[in-house]
Chains A and B, each alone.
Chain A
Amino acid sequence: AQSVSQHNHHVILSEAASLELGCNYSYGGTVNLFWYVQYPGQHLQLLLKYFSGDPLVKGIKGFEAEFIKSKFSFNLRKPSVQWSDTAEYFCAVNAGHYGQNFVFGPGTRLSVLP
């Protein structure tokens, strides 16, 4: 069964700092990759996804992620964070046709200081 790990449990940054959240997965077959974000008190929502093609994908709010197949990684980046980016971020892997193998990482809490 596949698993997803996220490098950091809690990241604290100042506004305008650059962000990189690490995500690694273990699965040898075809996968689709996702980053979800959960802002305080809000629904879990999709930030970006990778299905195929260009391994550098761009999402909402200036986020991007790079899929490196050889490293089984899908790291999330943003060049300059804002206070409003404070949230919990989840990496996820879908290796199942119906989503039955949709596996989430444990999450990384990002705190951005104004």
Chain B
Amino acid sequence: SQTIHQWPATLVQPVGSPLSLECTVEGTSNPNLYWYRQAAGRGLQLLFYSVGIGQISSEVPQNLSASRPQDRQFILSSKKLLLSDSGFYLCAWSATSVPYNEQFFGPGTRLTVL
């Protein structure tokens, strides 16, 4: 069966510091991968998606970037964190073999920028 991992689970970082959040998927090949930010009362906002290695599409211009160095690895980064980057970050995957398919979510990372 497929599983999705995210780490760290929680992170507290000072303003101006770099960020790296990692997501890996097991049990599937060539998944579509996604990064979301979840804000209370505002649902989930899609930040980035990837349909293949090295292919990243950004939905929202911001202080963050994403990379996909391997088929089942998706990384969310920042060179200098802002206070507004605080939030709950979710990674998700969907199967490319089924168009319009549902997404499966990881446990999330709670990021606090001080």
Contact = CB atoms under 8 A, between A and B. Distances in A.
Interface of A: 4, 9, 30-32, 34, 36, 43-46, 49, 51, 90, 94-100, 102-107
B100 A32 contact: yes
Interface of B: 32, 34, 41-44, 46, 49, 51, 57, 59, 90, 94, 96, 99-108
Nearest to A41: B107
Nearest to A109: B41
Contacts of A36: 105
Nearest to B105: A44
Given A43-B106, A43-B107, A44-B90, A99 B44 contact: no
Of B44, B49, B94, B100, most A-chain CB atoms within 10 Å: B100
B49 A100 contact: yes
A32 B34 CA distance: 18
Contacts of A4: 43
Contact of A90 (B34, B43, B104, B107): B43
A105 B43 contact: yes
20 contacts: A9-B41, A43-B105, A43-B107, A44-B44, A44-B105, A45-B105, A51-B100, A94-B100, A94-B102, A96-B100, A97-B99, A99-B32, A99-B94, A99-B101, A99-B103, A100-B57, A100-B59, A102-B46, A105-B43, A106-B41
